[in-house]
Structure 1
Amino acid sequence: MPSDNVYPSSNGPSQVDDTIPIAQGQRTLFEFGSFDHSKIPLEPEEWPVIIIGSSMVGMTLGVLLGYHGIKSVSFDRHPSTAIHPRAALFLLRSVEIFRQLGLEDELRSESASNFDLDAGMIIVEKLVGGKVLASMQESDPAEVAKASPSRRLWLTQNMFEPLLRKRAKEFGAAQEFSETVVHYEELSDGVLVVVQNVQSKSYRKVKTKYLVSCDGNRSATRRKEGIEWQGPGVLGESISINFKADLTPYLGTRAKHGVTYISNPAIDAGFRLESGGKAGFMIVTRAGDKKSFSPDSVSERDAKRYFKEASGIEDDIDIKVDSISYWSVAAFNAERFMSANGRVFIAGDAAHVMPPTGGMGGNTGIQDVHNLAWKLAYVLREKASAALLRTYDAERRPVAGLLMRQAYSRLQKRVFRTVPDEPELPDIVCEIGYRYPSAAAAHIQNPNGDQYEDPHAPLVLPGSRLPHVLLSRDGSQISTLDLIKTNFVLLTTGQSSPWIEAAKGMTLEIDSYSINTDTGTVRDSEGTFSHICRISEGEAILVRPDGFIAWRGEWRKDGHRDELQKALERTLYLSGSKQL
């Protein structure tokens, strides 16, 4: 059954409408209005967390919550997971998150079977035979390996979501498709949610402690909460053409490139080819003088003409156009990521929309829910005060704003061919160098005031991601990031550190490691841990369950337990009466 934004067309291929409606436009949107649910019985089971939307971000949140021991259910109006290829590039931080969940190897295998993992990017006049205007290769793998244990993955949403859905049940993440959330009410002790089945039109009423809305760029939740967009705005209406065609006789060395941008008088476009060059999708931002494409305005014949103008292939090849997606090139960040009362949150495209240049959009959504999931888990399990949840907005909103502006700068430079508003930061800085303003990191601010750092010269301060350092455990090589599970982690270097003893005295479970070259189950096999992490004898680093540094402990003669407890209380927004 087609959803309300995927529909058959008289023009041939299915048409997908993902555009952002603008003010005074003709489009209509679903709105949460007044709703009499008094005659709908309340179901007895209360879900700790309900998620609106079961696509990439919503499903990832469900898995992350399950990883932390929290049950959730997601409701999605669509009949199933994505069937159209979107969000092809998974950046380093996203892959590190799936590594923490134990899913990296499975995703890498799927990616390798469809894409060239070492692909770069070029700008050419045409895909075949056109002059090279610019080229940018992926970062040197050896340099990336110094900063992260993971590598970027090419994996489209219609490949990724079914894989994650299969694993979701293992993590206690329930997903209900063809179910539309038509109403919710925020209460003092939770949120009432009314759901309607798409086929039967029957209603259900359920209650949850917290509601997280991953309902996309048209988010009704964002509008109900009175949250405004901020940013450059809608920059154009583009299309993506999903096609099958055997291009292997024509591509030569261009088959290896991850993204190929096309710029010539007839068309501005971009190709993302699947492995072997026998399928892929093409983005079109301009065709002749046409710079905007309204939904259902492009026929199959138009799509094939655009393909010919961008590819430069003169032969009459067999090309099958599977679908045409319409979407808005936009740059927005929400002014808030949560409701005023603190029980409703927005994440992913509901909270921010950015141009596809740099591949940051979906990845930023994955980072959103990684930040939120552990906080929800700690609050629901009474390990933290509900005030901790307000740090989701304080931390994620500035980072999303930074990445949105970086995506816009890349669009200006690579597509519009203009001087960008802000200088481009290196990709690796955008991916794993962003910092949090320490709202949940013992409230210590970055001394240089920046929102980011160079992952190759990490600050290793509260608000920074824990640096990647190669270690050994039981004869196998691991990363410092592999030590991060569901608990806080305390790292020291001394063989009998008083900080380790202090951690043992906490009722809050802390995973403690004394990392050196001589003793312990985890060893500094390369002899670089203390240097990279800037830690000396008698010092300690406390890391949150999302891998970000909460606090640094200095050398002291005594009082280690009291100092560690104060750091945890500040990080988790607990009063001194709560014994940790």
Structure 2
Amino acid sequence: MTTVVIVGAGPTGLTLACGLARQGVEVRVIEKAAAFHPGSRGKTLNPRSLEVLADLGLAERLAAAGRTHLPFHKYFAGEFVSEAEPFAGVRPTPTAPYPASLWLPQTRVERLLRERLAEYGAKVELASELVDFRQDGAGVEVRLADGGRIAAEYLVACDGGRSTVRKLLGIPFVGEGDPEPVMVCGDVEVEGLEPGVWHQWFGPQGVFMLCPFEGTRRWQLQASPETDADGRMVAPSLESFQRLAALHTGRADLRLTEATWLSTWRVNVRVAERYREGRVFLAGDCAHVHPTAGGLGMNTGIQDAWNLAWKLGYVLRGLAAPALLDTYQEERLPIAAWTLDVTSAGMAAVMDGIRTPGTGVEVGRVGDLTGLALGYRWGRLAAGRPADEGVESADGLLRAGDRAPDAPCTGPDGEPARLFERFAGDHFTLLGFGPGARPALAGLPGHVRPVQLDDSDGTAREAYGITGDTLVLVRPDNHIALIAPATAREEVLGYLTALNAAG
């Protein structure tokens, strides 16, 4: 029996597959398309997603494939107005090694994740379409379009906003959407335009944008749709893109060629009423869709998968009771609601600014879009914390449920290291601040890694807000499980035991 079937081979499904395969869980990733999607689609990984993918060993490969700084050239009614760079001057810090988003097309992210998955011994099965499934208390049987069947313990739907799995479950997709396309999109080659800059033309006739990709001749085009004499939208095509370029830029020398992806985009703001039905889970766009402002789509899906991967793995490996799986919806559904709110506000700001000279897409950055301040303070896995905390740690005080910061530390052989290097993997980490914590780090269960922090320069103490000798238990997804006095070893062990308790 296959342990987990994942439907959909986008960033969400692939991140989940890698997170499970790394734990030794058998996975099958099925994808109904006969070939991998050629379009760029999402084009940024935010800092939190970069931390997630770095934990999977992809940091250097991603850095080589993308860029962290991208100037915006803003035009109004065809005339250059100003230049901006949202991450200008932003540099890594001891607590955040990836302070800026990485610009690269979703196709490259998916390719790198597929390569990593292959290193774990699994691959994507193309032209493999789920048409139905049934489940009971023992497992799930997946039925494929070609008549094949797969028996599994769990099924995870990562099959997008039109999810077949969600529809078969009958889970309402609550919200609203615009029936008419508000944007045409595509990948093109461009002649006559300065590379290395995201060019954004706003004005009375709408918006026209061309964003380049590092190491390629390809640009992503996003624009207000062309309409015919009767006001009807003209289907996206290279010819239509060329006419839109002339209309918005006023330039006769700008030539678009080689359109390889043609699409339309509609505003949809929807969230699944629930993320789980028995042994079936929803993740990524299957569970929530929202405006593009802030570039959170691919990122939110990756972070859904990161939350679910360790929990599914722990249950399947006998390290936690099935009740742990209930915390997936408990933690991620409020994040989706927050995401819908901030992206809707961001899209409204962009649309309001289209007719204002000097406005660019950066006005859509409403709230913290880095993902670094998002946490799960309200959840049952945040030991000893109130249940009414918001999703952002706005007060700056680190608490259970928050993302665990990076900081310098000592490696297992006494060499200089970083906390993120010690966190990497599928284990809990118990940080011991100060000499009084040393006794609590001995004789821990095999899935808990002890890290002693003498922290002579105080960087880690400052990052964690620690003053005295203290224990900090960090989850496999690098969120804080609990903060306790150095003498509270039994509290730590009790937390771990409770994960494996029945119910």
Contact residue 492 and residue 535 of structure 1 kept, 8 A: no
1:562 is aligned to 2:494: no
- Tell me how far apart the structure 1 counterparts of residues 349 and 228 of structure 2 sit (CA, whole Å): 20
CA spacing shift, 1:344–1:94, aligned 2, 3 Å:
same
Superposition pairs of residues 30-179 of structure 1, within 5 angstroms? 46-112=1-67, 117-121=68-72, 123-125=74-76, 129-132=79-82, 135=84, 137-138=86-87, 140-142=89-91, 145=93, 147-150=95-98, 151-179=100-128
State which of 145, 162, 166 in structure 2 corresponds to 1:218.
162
Measured in 1, the distance between the counterparts of 2:79 and 2:415 equals 48
Distance 1:76 1:413 in 2: 36
TM-superposed deviation, 1:440: 4.4
Matched, 1:190 2:139: yes
Q: Which residue of 2 aligns with 1:322?
A: 260
Correspondence 1:227 to 2:171: yes
Corresponding residue SS for 1:74: strand
The CA deviation at 1:246 is 2.2
Structure 2 distance, partners of 1:327, 1:495, is 57
1:399 is the counterpart of 2:335: yes
Check the 8 A contact 1:267/1:309 in 2, yes or no: no
1:299-310 superposed matches below 5 A: 299-310=237-248
1:279 maps to which residue? Answer: 218
Partners of 1:391 and 1:360 in 2: CA distance: 22
> 2:244 & 2:179 partners in 1: Cα distance?
21
TM-score by length of 1: 0.78
Aligned partner of 2:318 in structure 1 is 382
Residue 235 (structure 1) shift: 7.3
Q: How does 1:400-439 map to 2 (within 5 A)?
A: 400-417=336-353, 428=368, 430-439=370-379
CA contact (8 A) 1:124 1:130 kept: yes
Matched, 1:493 2:433: yes
Counterpart Cα distance in 2 of 1:55 and 1:439: 28
1:330 offset after TM fit, Å?
1.7
Matching residue of 1:4: none
TM-score where L is the length of structure 2:
0.89
Ranges in structure 1 where 5+ consecutive residues have no aligned partner: 1-45, 197-201, 518-523
Q: Give how far 1:430 is off.
A: 4.7
Partner-residue secondary structure (3-state), 1:191: strand
Instruction: Give the aligned residue type for 1:50.
Output: V
Q: CA RMSD in A?
A: 2.9
What is the alpha-carbon distance in structure 2 between the residues aligned to residue 448 and residue 70 of structure 1? 35
The answer to whether the aligner puts 1:351 opposite 2:351 as a matched pair is: no
**For 1:334 and 1:448, how far apart are their aligned partners in 2?**
22
**What is the percent sequence identity of the aligned residues?**
26
CA contact (8 A) 1:261 1:269 kept: yes
Deviates more, 1:167-176 or 1:470-479: 470-479
Could you tell me how far apart the structure 2 residues matched to 1:304 and 1:533 are?
53
Deviation of 1:179 (Å): 0.7
User: How many angstroms does 1:206 deviate by?
Assistant: 1.6
Structure 2 gap segments, 5+ residues each? 357-362
Are the counterparts in 2 of residues 458 and 532 from structure 1 also a CA contact under 8 Å?
no
Q: Deviations over 1:541-565 (max 9, x none)?
A: 0000000001111254xxx443222
Matched pairs, number: 492
